[in-house]
Amino acid sequence: MGYMKKLFLTFLFLVAVLDAKSQTLHAIMVSDVEDPKLGGISLRDEEAILQILKTAERGTGMKLETYYLNRSSFTAKAVRETLSQMRVDSRDVVFFYYTGLGYYPGSNDKFPTLKLKESALRPLLFFLNDNSLSLDEVGDILQNKGARLNVVMADCRDTVEDLMITEGGIIFDEDMRDVFLKKLFLGSCGLVKVPSATKGKQVWANQSQFGIGSVYTSNFNSTFNDLLEAQFNGVRQATWPQVMRSAESNGIYPRNDDRSRRVDTQQAVYEIKACSASQQRRTTRYAAYKYSLTVGNIQSKLDRYRKSGGDFEKLSDEISRAFRRNAKINLVRKNKYPDSYPQAKKTEAKMSVADFLAQFKSTSAQIQAVYPEFGSFQRTPNKEYLTELTIIEVFDEL
Taking all residues of the chain, what is their mean pLDDT, rounded to a whole number? 85
Interatomic CA distance for residues 74 and 67, integer angstroms = 12
What pLDDT score was predicted for residue 258? 53
- Name the H helices within the chain: 3-20, 39-60, 76-85, 135-145, 177-185, 215-228, 231-236, 240-246, 277-281, 295-308, 312-321, 353-363
What pLDDT score was predicted for residue 263? 52
What pLDDT score was predicted for residue 168? 43
Interatomic CA distance for residues 364 and 223, integer angstroms = 38
| One-letter amino acid of 222 | S
What pLDDT score was predicted for residue 120? 47
What pLDDT score was predicted for residue 351? 98
Q: What is the length of the chain?
A: 398
| One-letter amino acid of 275 | C
Portion of the chain with pLDDT greater than 70, in percent: 81
What pLDDT score was predicted for residue 129? 54
What pLDDT score was predicted for residue 278? 94
Contact 137, 84 (CB under 8 A): no
Within 10 angstroms of residue 231's Cβ, the number of other Cβ atoms is: 26
Cβ contacts of 137 within 8 Å, gap of 6 or more: none
The stretches in the chain having pLDDT less than 70 are 1-21, 119-131, 159-173, 207-212, 249-266
What pLDDT score was predicted for residue 89? 96
φ/ψ of residue 349, rounded to 5: -155, 145
Query: What 3-state DSSP class applies to 161?
Result: strand
| One-letter amino acid of 263 | V
Contact 227, 246 (CB under 8 A): yes
What pLDDT score was predicted for residue 95? 98
pLDDT tens by residue, 189-212: 999 999 887 777 777 777 655 556
Nearest to 306 by CA among 246, 361, 242: 361
Q: What's the distance, Cα to Cα, between the start and end of the chain in Å? A: 39
Domains of the chain: 19-281 (3.40.50), 295-395 (3.10.450)
Interatomic CA distance for residues 136 and 262, integer angstroms = 33
What pLDDT score was predicted for residue 24? 97
Nearest to 171 by CA among 234, 220, 117, 115: 234
φ/ψ of residue 155, rounded to 5: -105, 95
What pLDDT score was predicted for residue 249? 52
Cβ contacts of 171 within 8 Å, gap of 6 or more: none
